[in-house]
Amino acid sequence: MDGFQAVASTMQSDLPASSQACPLCKSAQAECFCSVNGQHYWRCPDCQLRFLQTNQRLGMEQELAHYQLHNNDPADHGYQSFLLRLAEPLLALLPAHCSGLDYGCGPGPALAQMLAAAGHRMSVYDPLFAAHASVLEQQYDFITCSETAEHFFRPDQEFERLYNMLRPNGWLAVMTTLQTNDSRFANWHYRRDPTHVCFYQTATFAWLADLYQMQLLLPVANVILLHKR
């Protein structure tokens, strides 16, 4: 698999597919629960993932063009404050001088810089901006995944990769806006980002924690910490 960009068609469909397997747990029982402007969204009854119909995802060039509109300047104090919501609870759990990977660092690896400034050895990976395959062949004491999981085309393979890259007693720190209300999904700002294809609930991360036998912590809103015991 190539980063977050698994093979996918960009063909648009005016009608929802007759069936759609969940890209996380592979349940065949997912149902189409919301259609907005021709975009169809599915709900998995098993892991509670919500996801965009797979043949309606953007292509890589379209995704890149959208990412380049973002202003994630590592020197921006507002962006740093946003990332502290993940960094602070994670740092409180880490011993000194750990090795970490920022998975999905984007064009400006602000989070990696903040964690390096706290004394940790950091590597970065992003399929579009820092596609250094060698870092995926190593193991780490912790991995951060900030505003990245919602872009996963194949979350089953992505989370398996992240789990395998963690050393025993390691931490996976995820930040993504959790979905809570299907009745508000159509107008939800997070859905309106065309690069967002997977939407997680607290129950989804509980399912992942159970799958990998990891400890689940929810220190603040939209921050998920998973401990590899």
| CATH number for position 118 | 3.40.50.150
Please say whether the beta carbons of 48 and 204 come within 8 A.
Answer: yes
Number of domains in the chain: 1
| Cβ partners under 8 Å of residue 18, min gap 6 | none
Q: CA 155, 158, 162, 165: dihedral to nearest 10 degrees?
A: 160
Within-domain flag for 15: no
How many Å apart are CA 213 and CA 24, to the nearest integer?
A: 16
Within-domain flag for 190: yes
Each residue of 169-224: pLDDT tens digit?
A: 999 999 999 999 999 999 999 999 999 999 999 999 999 999 999 999 999 999 99
Within-domain flag for 187: yes
Output the pTM of the full model: 0.91
Residue range of the domain that includes 84: 74-228
CA max distance for the chain = 53
Within-domain flag for 32: no
**pLDDT confidence of residue 2:** 44
